[in-house]
Structure 1
Amino acid sequence: MKVEGAAAAAFKDTVAKEGGSMPAREELAMAALTPEEFDLFADVGRVRRVYAGDVLFRRGELGTTMYVVVKGAIDLDFGDDLIVKRLGPAEFFGELGLLIGDHARSAEASVPVDGELLELHHEEFQRLVEREPGMVCYFLRRAIMRVVLNEQGLIRRLRRRNQDLESALDNLRATAHQLQQTEVLIRTDELTGLANRRGMTRHLADRRRNGAMSGLGLLLVDCDSFKQINDDHGHLVGDRVLQSVANILRSVSGAGDVACRLGGDEFALLIKATTREEVMRIAEFVLTTAQGLQRMGHTPPLICSLSIGACLVGPEGDFNDWYAHADAALYRAKRDGGNRVEWQDSRSLPA
């Protein structure tokens, strides 16, 4: 079917509107036919009218037809987040299906605007080979080079995308690490390195979620005459005293225990314990360790005497309930002069 007149005239009219002659960059890019090639292809090809929204073929479909854009445009979508490639007049696509037959399309070809295409099937292309072998050979050489260059470009884009993904993953890891560090900081007392009240609350929430709220004891520890130390020796000495208390609590904390600075000169120690004797043994150790450091007679002081309230806690209630029991015992210890441990039965509070 000879259609040179209509197709070639339409093509040349389009080219004239877009610049008057075939741009050299298109030929160098090997994406477009030369005017001579277009005339040859139009002599045997079939004109096909296409409309916006049409899909010529989809990725993975087998095809044996080559197309040349006469008027309008074609979008090739290669998927995998790659940029859609738009072809204009004289540019061709689908040549691998024509050359090797039943080739799986590597892109989806869709029509963005109304236009016209040339369709070439194997039989028509064979006539071109017999008629103009030299020109067809030159076209094939360029077509193969274009396939190679396209594959190389695809590989480069995929490499860049992989690099971008690796960079994004590195950024995510760094951000996650920063968030983790931030989470640790907001749950940690800056002066002593112990958990702060937020950290204690988070620890208890984790234990409750894991069903590990039974078999616990609570100590509330308060520094005796701490204000006097600050007044007599300054806040730096006071800070060192608090750090000494923190070190004692840290030394007796086992796996699963948590030592906490609740604020000011008040500390808490949550330990695994099932009996009063276990809790009191830990409390007495904290008390006698502080007394031993006091007897060393450092000036300015490294430690002060401590008042401790102790109790067992159960799975019912929350930290505020347990705190109330231990605080009742701590109040009695302070009232009786400090430097002692008092016990509070968790089943009752004094009126």
Structure 2
Amino acid sequence: MNRDGAAPTMKGGQFNTDPIAAPNEAATAALSQAEFELFAELGRPRAVEAGQVLFRRGELGTTMFIVASGAIDLDFGDDLVTKRLGPREFFGELGLLIGDHARSADAIVAGAGLLIELRHEEFQRLVDRNPGLVCHFLRRAIMRVVLNEQGLIRRLRRRNQDLEAALDSLYATTHQLNQTEELIRTDELTGLYNRRGLTLRLQESRAIGMPASLGLVLVDCDRFKQVNDDHGHLAGDRVLQAVASILRSVAGPEDVACRLGGDEFCLLVASSNAGDVMRFAEFIVATAQNLMLMPQSPPAMCPVSVGACMVDPRADWNDWYARADEALYQAKRKGGNRVHWQDAALEPV
């Protein structure tokens, strides 16, 4: 605890033990000589050794201690500063005044010396002996409690402010990490998953359990190089964004649309119905054809070829891709602007 009481001063060559002290001094001074002598007369001396524990934080106590010699450390825990008390400083006064008070700190002997102990039951004897002196001591003791509480409130406010600042920083960092993760997973031009994003999504799906069956639709733009050559890369970018919009419009909440690279896209369909997967593929081709009917210069769409198939969730991506790529090759070989299904049970469109 902080020092309390009024320290003796020289007056006319003699110690002045007048207990009156200024309020700002009362909460920081040690016991006056008169107070120390009164408490020492009625208290019990106790020799202590370095490292000795007088009490622990949270323990109930009814005793006040005064340091006659040596030093005491009060450890309030957490990140609060440990306080060291020296001769004529006191601690544990609330135990003396109200009895069975929970200690607010660990009291550990820092330097061997002598303490004066005053118990709760001895308080009335102090009052009877010198009520004026005890009254002044009580005023200072109460003032110290109030100042300590005010100091604790300030520290708690600062800690809350620090905590709020830390939470704000954590939120901002988390937001940045999420944005970074999104950039890592997402194709910048189209907003679809990129190849890395698709790989991560598949890893996550395998960890929680893949659907029983999946369909894969592989999309490739026909004559895309000609769009770039004739109208420039900005026009080519708009075509790619238009293809991405088609895939985004047809994809369900469990489906995954991805730009694999260049002008190649894929749609992973969470369905066990081959007919549904085929309808997805046909819709992509038909939508691209309809957009091409709208005269625009430069063109906003080009024809697309699509390869589609069912895939085994237990197999890896390379097996899926090889099968869908074979279907896409067949669609390209037949002139493009069409769907080819890699399954003899369904006739290619």
TM superposition score normalised by structure 1: 0.86
Indicate if the aligned counterparts of 2:27 and 2:147 stay in contact, CA closer than 8 A: no
The 2-side partners of 1:25 and 1:55 are apart by 32
Which residue, 30, 40, 48 being the options, matches 1:50?
48
Higher-helix-fraction structure:
1
Alignment-derived partner of residue 174 in structure 1: 172
Shift of 1:67: 0.7
Matches within 5 A, 1:37-186: 37-122=35-120, 124-186=122-184
1:1-53 per-residue CA deviation (whole Å, 9 max, x = no partner) reads xxxxxxxxxx99xxxxxxxx999999443452123322332333333222222
Residues 26, 58 of structure 1: CA spacing in aligned structure 2 closer, same or farther, 3 A cutoff? farther
Q: Which amino acid aligns with 1:116?
A: L
Q: Which residue of 2 aligns with 1:229?
A: 227
**Is the Cα contact below 8 Å between 2:72 and 2:84 reproduced in 1?**
yes
Identify the residue that residue 332 of structure 2 maps to in structure 1: 334
Aligned with 2:111: secondary structure?
coil
Encode CA deviations 1:302-330: one digit per residue, 9 max, x unaligned: 11111111110122112221111101111
Which deviates the most, 318-327 or 330-339?
Answer: 330-339
Q: Kindly tell me the number of residue pairs found equivalent between the two proteins.
A: 329
Q: CA–CA distance in 1 between the matches of 2:22 and 2:84?
A: 18
C-alpha separation in 2, matches of 1:148 and 1:248: 70
Which residue in the other structure is 2:11 paired with? none
Name the SS of the counterpart of 2:65 in structure 1.
strand
SS at match of 1:114: strand
Q: CA deviation at 1:112?
A: 2.4
Identity of aligned residues (%): 69
Q: Give the aligned CA root-mean-square deviation in angstroms.
A: 2.6
1:323 and 2:321 aligned: yes
> Do the aligned partners of 1:213 and 1:314 also contact (CA within 8 Å) in 2?
no
CA distance in 1, matches of 2:44, 2:134: 18
The corresponding residue for 2:211 is 213
State whether residues 311 and 346 of structure 1, in contact with CA within 8 Å, keep that contact through their aligned partners in structure 2.
no
Report the 3-state secondary structure (helix = DSSP H, G, I; strand = E; otherwise coil) of the residue aligned with 1:106: coil
186-195 or 21-30: bigger deviation:
21-30
1:70–1:118 Cα contact (<8 Å) kept: yes
Whole-angstrom CA distance in 2 between matches of 1:227 and 1:121: 96
The answer for unaligned runs of 5 or more in structure 2 is: 1-6, 9-15
Instruction: Give the CA deviation at 1:108.
Output: 1.6
1:64–1:226 Cα change, 3 Å? same
8 Å CA contact 1:31–1:146 kept in 2: the answer is no
Distance 1:31 1:309, change over 3 A: farther
Indicate if the aligned counterparts of 2:48 and 2:114 stay in contact, CA closer than 8 A.
yes
Deviation track 1:113-161 (CA, whole Å, cap 9, x = no partner) reads 3233222234554433222221111111111111122122222222222
For residues 219 and 272 of structure 2, what CA distance do their matches in structure 1 show? 20
Q: Which residue of 2 aligns with 1:285?
A: 283
Instruction: Map Cα deviations across residues 172-204 of structure 1 (whole Å, 9 max, x no partner).
Output: 222222222221222111101111112212222
Q: Does structure 2 conserve the Cα–Cα contact (< 8 Å) formed by 1:222 and 1:306? A: yes
SS in 2 for 1:296: coil
Q: 1:230 to 1:46 in 2, by over 3 A?
A: same
* 1:65-117 superposed Cα distances (whole Å, 9 cap, x missing partner): 11112233222223344332322222110111112222222222112232332
| Shift in CA distance, 346/88, structure 1 to aligned 2, threshold 3 Å | farther
Letter in 1 for 2:230: D
Residue 276 in structure 1 maps to residue 302 in structure 2: no
1:160 counterpart SS class? helix
Task: Tell me which residue corresponds to 2:193.
Answer: 195
Which runs of 5 or more residues in structure 1 are unaligned? 1-10, 13-20
